[in-house]
Amino acid sequence: MTDQAVDAGGLALSGHTSQELFFLGRTRELKELRADIERAGLDTLAGRKAPRARVLLIAGRPGSGRTALAEELVRQVADRYPDGVLRARLSEPDGTPVPTERAARDLLAELGLPAPAGAAVDDLAAELRAALADRRAVLLLDDAADAEQVDALLPDTPDCLAVAVAQGPLTGIADVRPCTLGGLDTKSAVELLSRRTGSVRITVDPRAAETLVEECQAQPAALMLAGG
């Protein structure tokens, strides 16, 4: 199932930015993720300069609104990264992992840089790291299949931020900061439902709305489908 964002008028696929969406809930998660950007890492605590970008992981099953949360986080912090936001989707809609070579080429293209023809994946990853070495940018790596995909694309500079979206943990990446999503809070879930059903139906039978939220485990995509 393609991950879906929370929006006011329909099912918005992962590629849409949150500036086009009406974001609901996840206040606690956003606060924690923003705090994790500034929190000292293991290298800093040991008196060393962090060698790579800070990695934030938003983990959750498809339909949990994980991509919407990542986009909203990026929107909130984008002004601190003047060299922009780079996006790469690391899995196909059917779940097939995107080759790292292709992801690196796509990111280089976003930077306006040509990728050498026939270059090996290690060379492309090195080109990407070199291109980001003097930049302050955000990488949004959506729907990562495993840690190896993400690790190969990470900038070798603490001035960049990587936000990875995945279904589970990224074991093997040092000092990754995870945020695991459950359902929405009840108030936000009912509000999302009301945007599909109309507020009158919710007002007439609020208990039925709360029951439906429970049945859907407060998962955004399930609520959008049920409300529709």
pLDDT at 209 over 90: no
Greater model confidence, 40 or 207: 207
Which H/E stretch holds residue 55?
Answer: strand 54-59
**Closest C-alpha among 215, 196, 193, 216 to residue 206:** 193
For position 51, what pLDDT does the model report? Answer: 81
Q: What is the pLDDT of residue 7?
A: 35
Q: What is the mean pLDDT of the chain?
A: 86
CA–CA gap between residue 129 and residue 104 (Å, rounded): 10
- Structure token digits, residue 8: 């006011």
pLDDT of 112 higher than 70: yes
Domains and CATH numbers, the chain: 4-180 (3.40.50.300), 186-227 (no CATH)
Q: In angstroms, rounded to a whole number, what is the distance separating the alpha carbons of residues 30 and 34? A: 6
Cα–Cα distance between 117 and 212 in angstroms, integer?
A: 53
Indicate the pLDDT class of residue 3, thresholds 50, 70 and 90: very low
What is the model's pTM?
0.83
Residue 228: the pLDDT is: 74
The pLDDT tens digits of the residues spanning 11-34 come to: 333 334 434 447 889 999 999 999
CA distances from 150 to 164, 171, 181, 224 (A): 7, 11, 19, 30
Q: How far apart are CA 144 and CA 98, in angstroms?
A: 9
